[in-house]
Structure formats: structure tokens, C-alpha cells
């Protein structure tokens, strides 16, 4: 009971504007505590793309743009988990120039904790928490590999796919179908050779799409092209790709339910020792839930 009162006190303090208690509240959510956060409409942007293309630097530009206009910006930067501690490893806040630099900016690094897709269901509660605490713009940065490119659709209303001219990952993203989720595509580092060609290649690959996403050449270092891209981001309407996103939300919730199953470790042990088959393991999990 005391713990419940404490949680309520932290929540109330966070809702009243305490950044310290907001951080404490997010830690409780990340640790699996049930927090009854008031549901409120939120504005979310998911930023994904391969490692090394400058996603964090680009987000720094967004933070600068919105905060200079009086918008409160919160960033949830998802890092790969440390295999030893399970905590966030890279610390994206170190690469964002305005991280926690004023009352209008809040940055939080999150560990993937080896969750499938690199994004856990608790991020939804964190978003609700940030929105209830008055944050106008909520940006989620993914690890940028594998399933995380897809899973971001479970949490963000609009998705920015980022790549650079010196990489071929955007073509791989197209082959994997990840590009289908993007509302906006950015070729960062436009000051480098090959950027225009990269944008033209992407444009060509999307020529058969009925409503292809806009493609922007941008440079996070000097800010060129950033404002035009933000204008397109602001124009994105939630629900434009609701079918794909509903699918990812369902899969995310299903993954979370499986990983939270009280019998999971026992059944995995039986499976790895050959005492049960894979089908029997699945049936056992279903039966124990019923």
C-alpha cells in the first residue's frame, strides 16, 4: 500500500511539472510497475534507419527548431542493451546538443532489454505519461536494425526513415518492406558526394507507389533542408497507414505477453532439454494462460 501511495505521489508531482519525478516515473514504468497515467492525445514521431546515418544529430536539429518556437520536446532514445547490466549502452543524449538543456527539452535513453524488435510495450505508457505531463512533441529514436524498424510503427503516429549517401541500406530497407512504413524519407549528409544520386534512386524505386512519401535531402551539420522536412512532418496525419501500424501494435502486445508469461523459463528449459516439442511448448503456454 505504501508503495502504491508513493507511486501516486510521484505521478502527481510529475504532472505538476517536476522533471525529477518525471524521470522517476519513467524508471518505474520501465521496471514494469503499473502506473495509471491519464490518457491524452499525443504527437509522436518515430525516427529509424541504419546505425551511423546521423539520426541523433538530426533529432538535435528537430529539438532546436521546436524548442526555439516554445514547443516542449521529449526524446526517447532506444539504445542496445548492455549484455551485463541490461541498461542502455550508447547513451544517445551525449550526441544531442540540446539534450536536457532547458525546461523545454527532455531526453531519456532506454534499453532494449533484448526485447523482440528492440522496443518494449512499456513505451506506450511512457508516451502517455509524457503527453499527460505537457510535452508537445515526443520523438522516439530506434536502434536502427532489424525488427526495430518495423516495431516503431506500434508507437509512433508518423515515421521518418533516415539514410546517408554513403550507404546502401535504404535499398535493403526497400527489399525488406520497411520503406512501406515511412511517411517521410531523409537522405542525411547532403553535403557529401552521392547524396543527390541516392535521393533519385529512392525516388525511382517508389515510382509505382500511389502515394509515395516525400524525400528530403538534408544535412544535420549545417541545418540545410531541415525546416522544409519538418513542414512535411507536421503535415503527416495519424492513421494514414493504420493497417500496417495496427498489425505492429498487435505483434508488440503479443510479444510482451509471451515474454511476461510466468511459465516461460520452465517451458524453455523443457524445450532445450528435449523433453517437449515446439508444438507442445506452444500448447503448454496456451493452456497455462487459460
* Domain ranges across the chain: 1-36, 37-241, 260-289
CA atoms within 13 A on the CB side of 155: 30
CATH number of 37-241: 3.40.50.300
Rounded CA separation 109/141 (Å): 9
Query: 146: which 3 cell numbers?
Result: 532489424
Backbone angles phi, psi at 160, to 5 degrees: -110, 120
What one-character DSSP code corresponds to residue 271? Answer: H
The 10s digit of each residue's pLDDT in 98-149 is 544 578 999 998 865 545 444 566 888 899 999 999 999 999 998 765 544 5
Question: Over the chain, what is the mean pLDDT?
Answer: 79
pLDDT grade for 226, boundaries at 50, 70 and 90: very high
Q: Which of 32-46, 163-177, 179-193, 203-217 has the lowest mean pLDDT?
A: 163-177
Query: 168: which 3 cell numbers?
Result: 546502401
The pLDDT score that the predictor gives to residue 37 is 86
The 10s digit of each residue's pLDDT in 12-23 is 999 999 999 999
pLDDT at 228 over 70: yes
Task: Enumerate the β-bridge partners of residue 223.
Answer: none
Rounded CA separation 107/87 (Å): 16
Q: Please tell me which residue, 249 or 90, carries the higher pLDDT value.
A: 249
Q: Please tell me which residue, 202 or 188, carries the higher pLDDT value.
A: 188
76: Cβ–Cβ under 8 A, 6 or more apart, which residues?
A: 108, 110, 123, 126, 127, 138, 139, 140, 141
CA atoms within 13 A on the CB side of 164: 17
pLDDT grade for 154, boundaries at 50, 70 and 90: confident
The pLDDT score that the predictor gives to residue 6 is 86
pLDDT at 285 over 70: yes
The pLDDT score that the predictor gives to residue 145 is 54
The pLDDT score that the predictor gives to residue 30 is 85
Q: Which residues of 88-110 are buried (b: 16+ CB within 10 A; e: fewer)?
A: bbbebbebbebbeeeebbbbbbb
Q: What is the pTM of this model?
A: 0.78
The pLDDT score that the predictor gives to residue 112 is 58
The pLDDT score that the predictor gives to residue 166 is 67
48: Cβ–Cβ under 8 A, 6 or more apart, which residues?
A: 55, 141, 142, 144, 148, 149, 152, 159, 160, 161, 162, 178
The pLDDT score that the predictor gives to residue 172 is 56
Q: Please tell me which residue, 151 or 97, carries the higher pLDDT value.
A: 151
Quick one: which of 222, 166, 168 has its CA closest to 194? 166
Q: Which residues of 140-177 are buried (b: 16+ CB within 10 A; e: fewer)?
A: bbbbbeebbbbbbbbbbbbbbbbbbbebebbeebbeee
Give yes or no for a contact between 190 and 222, defined as CB atoms under 8 angstroms apart.
no
Q: What helix, strand, coil percent values describe the chain, rounded to 5?
A: 45, 15, 40
Q: Which of 38-47, 152-161, 248-257 has the lowest mean pLDDT?
A: 248-257
The pLDDT score that the predictor gives to residue 287 is 77
The 10s digit of each residue's pLDDT in 192-210 is 887 888 888 888 777 777 7
Strands 158-163 and 137-141: unpaired
Query: 233: which 3 cell numbers?
Result: 512532418
Max mean pLDDT among 5-19, 100-114, 233-247, 249-263 falls in 5-19
The pLDDT score that the predictor gives to residue 104 is 93
Amino acid at each position: 500500500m505504501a508503495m502504491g501511495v508513493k507511486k501516486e505521489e510521484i505521478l502527481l508531482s510529475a504532472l505538476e511539472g517536476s522533471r525529477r519525478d518525471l524521470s522517476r516515473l519513467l524508471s518505474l514504468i520501465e521496471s514494469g510497475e503499473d502506473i495509471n497515467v491519464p490518457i491524452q492525445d499525443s504527437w509522436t514521431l518515430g525516427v529509424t534507419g541504419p546505425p551511423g546515418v546521423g539520426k541523433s544529430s538530426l533529432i538535435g536539429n528537430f529539438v532546436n527548431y521546436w524548442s526555439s518556437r516554445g514547443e516542449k520536446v521529449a526524446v526517447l532514445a532506444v539504445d542496445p542493451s548492455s549484455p551485463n547490466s541490461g541498461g542502455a549502452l550508447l547513451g544517445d543524449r551525449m550526441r544531442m546538443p540540446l539534450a536536457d538543456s532547458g525546461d523545454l527539452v527532455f531526453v531519456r535513453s532506454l534499453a532494449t532489454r533484448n526485447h523482440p524488435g528492440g522496443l518494449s510495450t512499456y513505451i506506450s505508457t511512457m508516451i502517455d505519461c509524457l503527453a499527460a505531463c505537457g510535452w508537445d512533441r515526443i520523438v522516439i529514436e530506434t536502434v536502427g536494425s532489424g525488427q526495430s524498424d518495423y516495431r516503431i510503427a506500434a508507437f509512433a503516429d508518423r515515421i521518418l526513415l533516415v539514410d546517408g549517401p554513403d550507404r546502401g541500406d535504404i535499398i535493403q530497407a526497400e527489399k525488406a518492406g520497411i520503406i512501406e512504413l515511412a511517411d517521410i524519407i531523409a537522405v542525411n549528409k547532403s553535403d557529401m558526394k552521392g547524396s543527390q544520386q541516392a535521393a533519385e534512386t529512392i525516388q525511382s524505386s517508389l515510382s509505382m507507389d500511389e502515394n509515395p512519401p516525400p524525400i528530403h535531402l538534408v544535412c544535420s551539420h549545417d541545418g540545410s533542408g531541415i525546416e522544409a522536412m519538418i513542414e512535411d512532418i507536421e503535415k503527416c496525419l495519424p492513421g494514414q497507414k493504420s493497417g500496417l501500424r495496427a498489425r505492429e501494435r498487435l505483434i508488440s502486445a503479443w510479444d510482451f505477453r509471451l515474454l511476461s508469461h510466468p511459465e516461460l523459463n520452465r517451458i524453455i528449459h523443457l524445450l532445450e532439454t528435449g523433453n517437449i516439442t515446439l508444438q507442445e511448448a506452444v500448447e503448454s503456454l496456451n493452456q497455462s494462460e487459460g
